[in-house]
Amino acid sequence: MNLIIKKNIHLENPDTRSFLADSFHTDTHEKLPLVIFVHGYKGYKDWGAWNIMAEKFAEAGFFFVKFNYSHNGTTVEDPVNFPDLEAFGNNNYSKELSDLGVVIDYFTEDPHVDAQRIVLIGHSRGGGISIIKTFEDERINGLITLASVDTLDRFPTGEALEKWKENGVYYALNGRTKQEMPHYYQFYENYQQNIHRFDVEMAAEMAKAHMLIIHGTEDEAVEVKQAEHLHILHPNSELFLIENGNHTFGAKEPWIEKDLPEDLNIVVKKCIDFIKIKMI
């Protein structure tokens, strides 16, 4: 089976800035369902085992896309590190939703894509973004969340919030790179200005797409009760728990194995089966 892999495709977003995407699909004349992977906080398209995951989806008959947000700290010159902390600090949910819209628009024009079958797979914070985009964009008819948050209101509170406003910035340590990652106060202001748009609970209730919610029971970053909450909000959704699974389903950076970790392999198989049953 021949895979066609295109890495570091330049996408232009006049509302943010240029960023990169990858596409994976088989060499076929058929039009394939479009599956877009949306990374989370401190994530990027080439993290860990995401490339192996992409190949699995392509081999299963999907046109799989993953991308870097324009302001996730990577650059078009260096898509696998965080050289642009200024951009990271100026990221916000409006920019992420805008970038995702550009990705959808760009790849639905690809001759290998069936624009009537679009699935978003969002990991962690990318799950929250994917839920909102699915509610906003009626072209999306499949939604899968992996270790997703059930709210985007994940900001400092009380005295810490006041200090953030006063200083204009707070820093979060990246445990892997040891970088102090800035968050400028504009992030919170953008959230407050769009608080109804960024309501993940409402979007989950109202989204019309087929929905699969996957979560590890030992997720150290996002509690499993958030997945259970999303399942309650979207009663026609399916909840699939990975017993003892962590936030990245066993993957880590760097991932030097040739195969997926066991838990992530289970996740990918479940996602593929779900899409084939619901959408093909």
pLDDT in tens, 133-145: 999 999 999 999 9
- Given a cut of 90, whether residue 235 has pLDDT beyond it is no
pLDDT in tens, 15-52: 999 999 999 999 999 999 999 999 999 999 999 999 99
**Nearest Cα to 207, choosing from 274, 272, 147, 119?**
119
Give the H or E element holding residue 123. strand 113-123
Q: In order of start, what are the domains of the chain with their CATH numbers?
A: 3-153+198-279 (3.40.50.1820)
If one counts every other C-beta atom within 10 angstroms of the C-beta of residue 220, the result is 10
Q: What is the dihedral of CA 95, 101, 104, 105, to 10 degrees?
A: -120
**Nearest Cα to 227, choosing from 218, 237, 215?**
215
How is residue 108 written in tokens? 């639905």
Q: Could you tell me the sign of the dihedral formed by the alpha carbons of 70, 72, 124, 92, in that order?
A: negative
Q: Could you tell me the sign of the dihedral formed by the alpha carbons of 157, 163, 165, 171, in that order?
A: negative
- Given a cut of 80, whether residue 1 has pLDDT beyond it is no
Q: Is 0.75 topped by the overall pTM?
A: yes
**Rg of the chain on CA atoms, in Å:** 18
Write the DSSP string, 135-178. Answer: HH-TT--EEEEES--S-S-----HHHHHHHHHHSEEEEE-TTT-
Calculate what percentage of the chain has a pLDDT beyond 70: 100
